[in-house]
Amino acid sequence: MSVKNFIVAATLGAALALPAVSHAQETAKEIRLMTWGGSWLDIFRPVAEKFEKETGIKIEFVVQSGAGDGLNRITAQKANPQVDVWTSIASTVQVATKAGLLETLDEAQLPNMKSVPAELKGPTSSAIWLSPRGIFFRKDLVPFELKTWEDVWDPRLKGKVGVSFTLDRGNFLVLAALLNGGSEKNIDPGFEQMAKLKDNLHAVYKSDPESIKLLETGEISVAAWGILPNVYRHLGPDSKYQFIMPAPRFLADIPVSIVKGRSDAQRAAAIKFVDYMLSPESQTTMASIAGTIPANPKAEVPEKLKSIIPPLPVADVYQMDWSVVNENYSKWEERWMREVQVRR
C-alpha cells in the first residue's frame, strides 16, 4: 500500500514562486517559527538548537493555540508579516494558500523535500510528519477498556468525556457523522450523533494543552479526540494512560510552510530551516519525541510508535475532503455552539 492510502491529502492552490537563493545572498541571524505550545515545543527545540549551532541562525518560537489561530494571525499580519515559518494542518494551508499568504516552495532550494512523497507536499507546503489521531483515556478512571469510536457513547462513561470541535477543524464532528451514516458532505447525522453524547459529555476543549490538563486532573477520563504527539510522552508499559486508533482512522499530515512577505534575508534563512527539518536526521529526532510517522521515508520510524499504532502502512484511513470542510466550517461552528456546547 502506498503512502497515498493513509494520508489526508490537501488540495492547495497556486502562489508565486520563491526567488532563487544564491550563495552570496544575505541570510538572517534569527527567524520565527509559529507552532503549537506545550509538548510541541519540546519536539522542535532539539532540532532548532542543533540548527542554530550548525548555521548560527536562531529560531524564536511563536505559540499558536491551534492552526486556526495561526491562520488568523498571518491573515491579520499580511501587510507586515511577523512569522517566517509556520506549521499547521492541511485545511488551514489550503485557506492560506488561496489567500496568497504563503510562498511557493522550490525543491531546487530544498533538496530534502525531494525525498518526501508527492502525496505529502503541495505548492506551498511539505509535510514534516504524519500525526495519528484517536482516543486517549485514563485506564484508572474508566470502567472498561475502550476499543472503538462507538465506545465513547457507552452509558458507563456518563460525565467522563471531553471532545473538541476546533482541533482539526471539526474532525470529531465529521467522525460522529460517519458513525451515523453521514460524512463532511452530509453533516446532519453528525449533530444527531452528538446529541446522543450529551449525558457523557463533560467538557469541550479548544487546545492541545487543555485536553491534557483535563485528563491529568481527572476532570475527564476520556479525550475523545486525541492527537498522539500531545500524549505520546505519557504512554508506556506502566502508564495509566492509553491511546487507541480505531477505524475509521484519521492520520493527519502536518505541513510546514514559509510565510510570504518577509525580507530576502529572512526568506533565505527560512528556506534553510525548512530543508533542515526535512532531513532524515531531524525527521527521526522529531518522530522519536512526538510519536509521529516521518514524512521523509529515509528517516527511521521509532520502535515505541510501532507498539502504539496499527501496523504500517496504516489501513482504513479516512480521506477528508477539506474543500467541503472549509466551505462549511463557519456554519458548523455556529451550529455546534447552539446544539452541543451550550446544551451540554
Domains and CATH numbers, the chain: 3-130+252-306 (3.40.190.10), 132-250+317-341 (3.40.190.10)
| Residue appearing with cell numbers 510552510 | 257
* Residue 262: closest CA among 68, 94, 86, 70: 86
Mean pLDDT of 211-233: 92
Give the whole-angstrom CA distance, residue 17 versus residue 233: 39
Whether the predicted pLDDT of 344 surpasses 70? no
State the average pLDDT for the chain. Answer: 90
pLDDT in tens, 42-85: 999 999 999 999 999 999 999 999 899 999 999 999 999 999 99
Whether the predicted pLDDT of 107 surpasses 70? yes
Could you tell me the pTM of the whole model? 0.76
Q: What pLDDT is recorded for position 186? A: 98
pLDDT in tens, 251-293: 989 999 999 999 999 999 999 999 999 999 999 999 999 999 9
Q: What pLDDT is recorded for position 256? A: 98
- The CB-based long-range contact list for 147-155 (8 Å cut-off, 24+ gap) reads 147/244, 147/246, 148/246, 149/175, 149/179, 149/246, 149/248, 150/179, 152/197, 152/200, 152/222, 152/224, 153/193, 153/196, 153/197, 153/200, 154/200, 155/199, 155/200
